[in-house]
Every structure is written in C-alpha cells, then in structure tokens.
Amino acid sequence: MLDLYSPGTSPLHRLSPGPKMLVLMIGATALFLNESLPITVGALCGVLLLYPVAQLTLKQAWQQIRPLLWIFALFFALQWWFSGIALAAYVVLRLAALILLASLVTLTTRSSDMIETMTWALGFLRPLGVNPAKVGLAISLALRFIPVLAQIAQEVREAQKARGLERSVLAVAMPVAIRTIKMADDISDAIESRGYRP
C-alpha cells in the first residue's frame, strides 16, 4: 500500500488523475449497488485484465490482496456461517475487486498528481475556512512519514528487545513518542526553511 506508484508509460499512467479517480468512485459505487455474483466475478476479471494494460503484473495485483488475506478469510467465514457460501463468495469477491480497482488507480498515478487533484476538488470547502493546499501537504507528509515511523518503531523494538523489554508497551511507546516529537520539530523547521508559506 505504501509503494503506491509504479512508474510506467501505459495509457492508464498517462490518463490524468481526475478521470481515473472519478471512474474509481463510480466503479466502487456500482460494485456496491450490484447484487449479482456473476457480475461481480465479471468485474473482478475486468479489473484484473486492466493490470497488464497498465504494464503491471498479476503478481503486483496479488501483492495488493495478500496483506488483507486474513480479513478476507474472516469475512468469508462469517458470511458463510450466517448467510451461506454464495453470499460469502459474493462479499469477498466484491471486496477484492474494489481493492484491486483502487490499487490500479494508486499504482498508475503519482501521489503528487493525486494530491493535486484532491486539492483542486476540495476547493469548494475554501469558503468554510478549509485550506485545500494544507490538506494536500498533510496527506503528502503522512505518506512520506509512515515508513519513517515504522522504521523508528522497529529500531526501538529491537533496542528494547536487547534489554528484554519488547513486551512492555510503555518501554516501546515512550521512546517512539519522544523521537517522533523531536522529529516533528525538525520537519516543521525544514518545511519553513524551504520557503513554505501557510
């Protein structure tokens, strides 16, 4: 989910982000309104066919699904238990189609282009005092620093493991929090240094 963009030159890469995000929204709505299993299967196959069109491999498609496998299994089991296997298959396939469709958009669209489009689309909130550019920056920062935070948490966990403290929530959470606050200070200095005007 984090290495969102996969560089390429396919028609889907070249399509501007606005239409892609619109199709995603319409497609997602349609998938939810549709109640037929065959159509859901068709939609899933259709989305999968678009992966090669976007110069993406089916392996990449699988990588989008794999981290969510246990959620799929849980949904499937619950639905099967309550409503039968046909509905369980329908629910899980619909979810898979949805995730693959959304990933297709994020894999073929630079996050900066996506954020720019979102910033533009959020323009209507300006009269309410929302600054869309700030929302855009916030999203970029989140995308940028999630891996950094994950790395910090990993380092702290390893350090505490050496002291036998890796099971203590506090012993891990405190150093992570302190390093994060210190980091946030530097980041805001860096943003200011680089000429950002809020």
Partner 1 sequence: MIEITNVSLAYGQRTVLRDISLTLSERRIAIVGANGSGKSSFARLLNGLLLPSEGTVKVDGLDTRSHGKDVRRKVGFVFQNPDNQIVFPVVEEDLAFGMKNLGFTKDTIAAKTTEILTRYDMLDLREHPAHLLSGGQKQLLAISGVLVMDPAYVVLDEPTTLLDLRNKRRITRAIDALDQTVIIASHDLDLLGDYDRVIVFDEGGIVADDVPGKAIPFYVNRMS
Residue 5 lies near partner 1 (rule: CB under 8 A): yes
Cα 74 to Cα 77, 87, 88, 184: the distances in Å are 5, 14, 10, 37
Residues 87-116 contacting partner 1, CB under 8 A: 110-112
Residue 67 lies near partner 1 (rule: CB under 8 A): no
Contacts 24+ apart (CB under 8 A), 38-46: 40/90, 40/93, 40/94, 40/97, 41/93, 43/97, 44/93, 44/96, 44/97, 44/100
CB of 168 to partner 1, least distance (A): 26
Residues 151-180 contacting partner 1, CB under 8 A: 151
Residue 53 or 148: the one with the smaller Cβ distance to partner 1 is 148
Residue 183 lies near partner 1 (rule: CB under 8 A): yes
* Only segment of 20-28, 42-50, 52-60, 140-148 that touches partner 1 (CB under 8 A): 140-148
Which residue type does 98 have? L
DSSP letter at 142 equals: H
Which residue type does 74 have? L
Q: Which residues bind partner 1 (CB under 8 A)?
A: 2-5, 7, 110-112, 140-141, 143-144, 147-148, 151, 183, 186-187, 189-197
